[in-house]
Structure 1
Amino acid sequence: MDPQERKSTSKPVFHRFRDLGQAEVNVDLQVHTTWTDGQATVLQVLQTARERGLGALAFTEHVREDTAWFGDFREEVLSAARDFDDLQVFVGCETKAMDADGRLDVSQRVLDACDIVLGVVHRLQDGRGGYLDFGQLSFEQTADIEFQLSIGMVRNAPIDVLGHPGGMSLRRHGRFPEEYFRAMMMATLERQIAIEINSSYLADMPAFLALCEEVNPLVSVGSDAHRLEQLGHCRDRLLELGVGRS
């Protein structure tokens, strides 16, 4: 076996919300480094994760269809992870929806190299090869388009996690319709993929967690950490709110 492959586990195991215990919450499955827009190196992230007692970590860099560096990134993560046997380390990517049919901005080569794939909405396509201007859209328009893109990924895309659900609406309007959150949770559960609890985007985490309690979807815990001080933030917030204390 190639020594670079030893540390990589096939995929994270996701649990339904009501089954979350301390071990299931003690993870951070969305982390970025200097390979893209993060501010810390792979090694610095691993060292900080160890210091904060995290049990599992996923490096999920932003990718596009023409990304050519992913193999080198994966090699660096797996090489560095050999010195952190107390951490379960995954290599993954964060890729955006390109249309409501679930097409992703990622190559098959990158998908094949991932332990975890996060599908997200970052931009809203205009149907002509460009992007809509968020400033020209109402809350309702933004939420509707984001919902359609998200459902397209859930139903058709090769993703493991629906990342920062409702994120564009939350960032620009501070809210996202509860009925859309509920429908997305039910759709992810039907397909047996996870919906992300993301402490960076959720404006009202208690309300989102109450909906998780109702629907009981498979969930992924992610801080969307771009700086070392953000690592493990979602775990800490969940524990504050009483999730995972059992």
Structure 2
Amino acid sequence: MYAQEKKSAGKPVFRRFRELDHAHLNVELQVHTTWTDGQATVLEILSTVKERGLGAVAFTEHVRKDTPWFLEFKNEVVTFARGFEGLHVYVGCETKAMDDNGRLDVSQQVLDACDIVLGVVHRLPDGRGGYLDFKQLSFERTAEIEFQLSIGMIRNAPIDVLGHPGGMSLRRHGRFPEAYFREMMTAALERQIAIEINSSYLVDMPAFLHLCEEVNPFVSIGSDAHRLSELGHCRDQLLELGVGRL
């Protein structure tokens, strides 16, 4: 699955959902460190990932268009990764949608330095340079805006993964329309972009996996890990649910 050397600029190779086996699940492709809002260092994460038997890890820090430290962060990851033979290590970013057309809050310099780019919805732009207040929006309106931002990224943005799909609606309302999930998966499949199976956001993992079985999109496995205890959580949950048994 992960044929690239850790010092290459290659990207992870994603598989479609029905093709997953244990090796394809044995990864952690969304991790945050003390460079942003994570609680563990790069070295601590690499050591823990190795201890837990994971085969690949992607460091996907939050970035903005004016982020100044990304190349320094990448150098740290690559330097420490040399001490972990057999572990595939990727440097990436998590960047948010700025409009329905797929514009991202990230610089070209950061995009060029990434092995993997996660496009996400974190805020809901108001079209005037600011953001809407989640507290003032109904579930239906929140979901509709999140869907339009997500589809814009899927169709137009330079991303490899749609991260935590439906996440803002799930966090605030505990649900996201099945029809939106289905359309996002279908559009992502057409462009060969992975949909993230994210154990931190999904409130009904079995229902989401049922849709994955139906649409059979390319998928990425991520726990959205901010603590060492969360590393590999998505893998473990999927195995418990019987995913990957070909």
Task: Report the TM-score when normalising by structure 1.
Answer: 0.97
Aligned CA-pair RMSD: 0.9
Partner of 2:73: 73
Query: Which runs of 5 or more structure 2 residues have no equivalent in the other structure?
Result: none
Partner of 1:165: 165
Whichever residue aligns with residue 57 of structure 2, its letter is L
Query: Within 5 Å, which residues of 2 pair with 1:88-103?
Result: 88-103=88-103
- Whether the 8 Å CA contact 1:117–1:160 is kept in 2: the answer is yes
**Helix, strand or coil: the match of 1:159?**
coil
Partner of 2:205: 205
Aligned length: 242
Structure 1 residue 244: Cα displacement: 1.6
CA–CA distance in structure 1, aligned partners of residues 209 and 8 of structure 2: 30
**Helix, strand or coil: the match of 1:169?**
helix
Moved over 2 A (4+): 5-9
Structure 1 residue 6: Cα displacement: 5.8
Structure 1 residue 9: Cα displacement: 4.9
- Whether the 8 Å CA contact 1:175–1:203 is kept in 2: the answer is yes
Whichever residue aligns with residue 48 of structure 2, its letter is T
Partner of 1:127: 127
Work out the percentage of aligned pairs sharing the same amino acid: 79
- Whether the 8 Å CA contact 1:8–1:91 is kept in 2: the answer is no
Query: Which runs of 5 or more structure 1 residues have no equivalent in the other structure?
Result: none
CA–CA distance in structure 1, aligned partners of residues 8 and 230 of structure 2: 24
1:188 aligns with 2:188: yes
**Helix, strand or coil: the match of 2:58?**
strand
CA–CA distance in structure 2, aligned partners of residues 182 and 49 of structure 1: 32
CA–CA distance in structure 2, aligned partners of residues 101 and 89 of structure 1: 31
CA deviation profile, 1:76-110 (whole Å, cap 9, x unmatched): 00000000012100000000000000000000000
Structure 1 residues 6 and 235 mapped into 2: Cα distance closer, same or farther (>3 Å)? closer
Structure 1 residue 7: Cα displacement: 2.4
- Whether the 8 Å CA contact 1:96–1:105 is kept in 2: the answer is yes
Structure 1 residues 6 and 52 mapped into 2: Cα distance closer, same or farther (>3 Å)? closer
Structure 1 residue 8: Cα displacement: 3.5
Task: Report the TM-score when normalising by structure 2.
Answer: 0.97
1:33 aligns with 2:33: yes
CA deviation profile, 1:93-148 (whole Å, cap 9, x unmatched): 00000000000000000000000000000000111111000000000000000000
CA–CA distance in structure 2, aligned partners of residues 223 and 127 of structure 1: 31
CA–CA distance in structure 1, aligned partners of residues 241 and 92 of structure 2: 28
CA–CA distance in structure 2, aligned partners of residues 129 and 81 of structure 1: 39
Partner of 1:57: 57
Structure 1 residue 12: Cα displacement: 0.2
Whichever residue aligns with residue 196 of structure 1, its letter is E
